[in-house]
Structure 1
Amino acid sequence: MRVVHVASEVFPFSRSGGLGDVLGALPAQQARLGAAVTVVSPWYADIAQPVREVWRGALDAPGSVPLADVRVGELVQGGVQFVFVGLGAFDRPGLYFPDDVWRFTQFARAVLPALERVGVTPDVLHAHDWQAGLVVALGRLAGLRAVFSVHNLQYQGRWNLIDGAGWTGLPDWAFTHEGLEFHGDVNLMKAGLVFASQVTTVSPTYAQEITTPEYGEGLEGLLVRLTHEGRLSGILNGLDQDRWDPRTDADITPFADVAGKAACGVALRAEFGLDDAPILGVVSRLAEQKGMDLLIGALPELTRDWNVVVLGGGDPRLEAGLREWDAHPRVAFAQGMNEPLAHRIYAGADAFAMPSRFEPCGLSQMIAMRYGTLPVVRETGGLVDTVPHEVGFRFAGATPQALTRACAEARLTFDDRAEWTARAAEAMSLDFSWDGPTREYLGLYARVLSVPPRPVAGLEGL
């Protein structure tokens, strides 16, 4: 089976968060299980690994804007073929910018012609998030079967319909309410949802949540229909357990059990000058989605019982709010992305806070548990599916008070050393490997290939 993944980022070449982590792990595991796997992503200016250019020129791609001076590069690593598509829109350093709908529309139009240049014909396209949604629609027109994965429904790739329709290379009949049109805009997330044979999200609970007005981001009606048609499911993300392994982690003092974790706590305490109170760690994008405003609101109470170590960057207001607390003897804030420090926090903290307003899957809670660090999480999305009651501490309300109460429960449990150690040992024993999810995806691909594509309601062109 030839599987082609299309995504805006893939670790270790490009990464801003969980999407890149998934694309760094899932294709490799699929290759280990016997699939022929190709991953297509943009050829960003700051990709450091050596990529071999295999083709350069103008691509004959549908749409009103010519694709001139396109570069196609290739690299094989871990049994996976990586194909990079270079366009002028990706020559600036960095991954994401305000004109991303324009940039990723050009990328999507170039994907199928670029695959032809490297001699790859997909059996199944697997596109990820809105940046690859248009690839699903263009692939459907070319007779390809596609799976579309929603990693975060909040970001949809919208642009004014009048200005943007001609960019896409799709026929006029695709721009109706049943197609890409969404409140007068082109919606590239909707392109993936409408035209895919199967749609997945990254956890079973999030698959249910996005069919409701609270989490559906205006697309809940379509998602309810997909559910009724048997086309929407949730497959929980796995964790790269080689990359996140406390027994071999080069960024910490390695350990194999809860007792061995103590040295990492001593080192983290010394690094930030913390006292003997237990450590509550946070490694997160600083955004209201992640509940970081709730964390800041809870700090006056949390610092009574906890040292709080936060690593992250994002919303300038939240960064400023944490900097105001950085002078507190029990608060340490490190701004930005720093993977070695993230490893030290996961290993050295006692508990780990994720007060997310919504969380499609989340990897941080899985990493924390693998390192014997007990999560304090809001009951939403993948946090429900991964944090057992007998291990972590869950709360329902998206308020500082609800977070404070859950942390108070954790603090009381921490004082019962036998109970805390048992929970930490259970956390370290949980299996979050990619093996199970990978087999689910391969089974889904097989079902997609076994039946003809469904007609798309209201779109007579298919």
Structure 2
Amino acid sequence: MRVVHVASEVFPFSRSGGLGDVLGALPAQQARLGAQVTVVSPWYADITQAVREVWRGPLEVPGSVPLTDVRVGAFTEGGVQFLFVGLDAFDRPGLYFPDDVWRFTQFGRAVLPALEQVGVVPDVLHGHDWQAGLVVARARLAGLRAVFSVHNLQYQGRWNLMDGVGWTGLPDGVFTAEGLEFHGDVNLMKAGLVFASQVTTVSPTYAQEITTPEYGEGLDGLLIRLTHEGRLSGILNGLDQERWDPRTDADITPFGQLAGKAACGAALRAEFGLDDAPILATVSRLAEQKGMDLLIAALPELTRAWNVVVLGGGDPRLEAGLREWDAHPRVAFAQGMNEPLAHRIYAGADAFAMPSRFEPCGLSQMIAMRYGTLPVVRETGGLVDTVPHEVGFRFAGATPEALADACAAARLTFDDHAEWAARAQEAMSLDFSWDGPTREYLGLYARVLSGPLRPLVGLERA
């Protein structure tokens, strides 16, 4: 089976969060199980690996902006072929910018003809999030079968309809309520949802949640229809268990048994000058979605019983709020993303807070449990699907009080050393490998390939 993944980021070449992690792990596991896998992503200026240019030239594709100098670079690792599409729009440091809808529209126009130039013909094209929505639409209009994964429905790639029609190069017939039009805008997330043969989300609970007005981001009606048509499902993300393995982790004092974790806790205390209280940590993008404002508001209560360590960056207001607390003897804030420090935090903390307002899947809670660190999580999305009641501590309300109460319950349990140790041992034994999810995806692809190409209902003018 020839599978082509299209995504805006892929670890270790480019990464801002969980999407990059998924694209760094899932394709490699698919290749191990016998698929022929290619990953296509933008050729960012920050990519430092020895990518080999394999094609360069203009591409004649519809659209108001000519694609005159397109570069395709190749890199093979772990049985996966990585192709990077170079465009002027991506020749700047960093991944994401305010003009991303325009940038990824150019990327979306370039992907299929670039694949043709280098001789890659997919059986199934698998697009990830709104940045690949246009590629999915163009694939379906070209007669290819496509799967589309929603990693975060909140970000949709919307732009003014008048501009977007010309940018995409798609026929006028797709810019209707049945197609890409959304409240007077072009919506590239909707493009993926409408044109894919199958749509997946990254956890079963999130697949249910997004069919409701609370979580559907205005697309819940369409998602309900996809559910009724049997085209929407949730496949839980896995975890790269080689990258996140406390037994072999070079960034910590490795440990395989819970007793070895104590050295990591002592090292983390020494690094941040913390006292003997247990450590509650989080490693997160600083955003309201992640509930980081709830964590800050709960700090007066949390610091009565916990040391609190936060690693992350994002919303300047949340960063400023954490900096104000950084002088507190029981609070340590490290701004930005620092992977070696993240490993030390996962290994050295006792508990891990994730008060997310919504969480499509989440990887941090899986990593924390793998390192014997018990999660305190809000009951939403993938946190419901991955944190058993007998291991972690779950709470319902998206409020500082609900978070503080759950952390208080965790603190009481911490004092029962036998109970805490039993929970931590159970956490470390959980299987979050990619093997099961990978087989689910390959089965989904097989069903897509064995069925008829879905008709363009309501899009006949395309």
TM-score (ref. length: structure 1): 1.00
- 1:413 match: 413
**What is the CA distance between 1:140 and its match in structure 2?**
0.6
State the Cα deviation string for residues 99-151 of structure 1 (Å, max 9, x = none). 00000000010000111111100000000000000001100111100000000
State the Cα deviation string for residues 159-189 of structure 1 (Å, max 9, x = none). 0001111111110000000000000000000
CA distance in 2, matches of 1:254, 1:232: 41
Query: What pairs up with 1:322-333 in 2 under 5 angstroms?
Result: 322-333=322-333
CA distance in 2, matches of 1:96, 1:460: 35
**What is the CA distance between 1:455 and its match in structure 2?**
1.8
- 2:81 match: 81
SS at structure 2 position matched to 1:304? coil
- 1:152 match: 152
- 2:447 match: 447
**What is the CA distance between 1:61 and its match in structure 2?**
1.4
- 1:279 match: 279
2:262 aligned with 1:262: yes
- 2:388 match: 388
SS at structure 1 position matched to 2:15? coil
SS at structure 2 position matched to 1:432? coil
Query: What pairs up with 1:134-213 in 2 under 5 angstroms?
Result: 134-213=134-213
CA distance in 1, matches of 2:386, 2:322: 28
Overall identity of the aligned pairs, in %: 90
2:97 aligned with 1:100: no
CA distance in 1, matches of 2:97, 2:294: 27
SS at structure 1 position matched to 2:304? helix
Query: What pairs up with 1:45-60 in 2 under 5 angstroms?
Result: 45-60=45-60
- 2:22 match: 22
RMSD (CA atoms):
0.6
**What is the CA distance between 1:353 and its match in structure 2?**
0.1
**What is the CA distance between 1:450 and its match in structure 2?**
0.5
CA distance in 2, matches of 1:257, 1:397: 34
CA distance in 2, matches of 1:111, 1:190: 19
**What is the CA distance between 1:461 and its match in structure 2?**
3.8
**What is the CA distance between 1:454 and its match in structure 2?**
1.9
Q: Any runs of at least 4 consecutive aligned residues in structure 1 with deviations exceeding 6 A, and if so which? A: none
Look up the equivalent residue of 1:154 and give its one-letter code: Q
CA distance in 1, matches of 2:421, 2:461: 61
Unpaired runs of 5+ residues, structure 2, are none
- 1:132 match: 132
The number of residue pairs the alignment matches comes to 462
CA distance in 1, matches of 2:335, 2:95: 19
Look up the equivalent residue of 2:444 and give its one-letter code: L
State the Cα deviation string for residues 57-101 of structure 1 (Å, max 9, x = none). 101112121101110111111100000000000000000000000
Look up the equivalent residue of 2:180 and give its one-letter code: L
**What is the CA distance between 1:44 and its match in structure 2?**
0.2
**What is the CA distance between 1:457 and its match in structure 2?**
2.7
- 1:224 match: 224
CA distance in 2, matches of 1:191, 1:422: 47
Look up the equivalent residue of 1:253 and give its one-letter code: T
Look up the equivalent residue of 2:304 and give its one-letter code: R
CA distance in 2, matches of 1:455, 1:63: 25
CA distance in 2, matches of 1:344, 1:453: 49
CA distance in 2, matches of 1:454, 1:146: 10
CA distance in 2, matches of 1:115, 1:75: 14
- 1:91 match: 91
Unpaired runs of 5+ residues, structure 1, are none
CA distance in 1, matches of 2:456, 2:374: 45
Query: What pairs up with 1:2-21 in 2 under 5 angstroms?
Result: 2-21=2-21
Look up the equivalent residue of 2:254 and give its one-letter code: P
CA distance in 1, matches of 2:81, 2:313: 32
CA distance in 1, matches of 2:457, 2:212: 21
CA distance in 1, matches of 2:183, 2:61: 27
Look up the equivalent residue of 1:420 and give its one-letter code: W
CA distance in 2, matches of 1:277, 1:293: 23
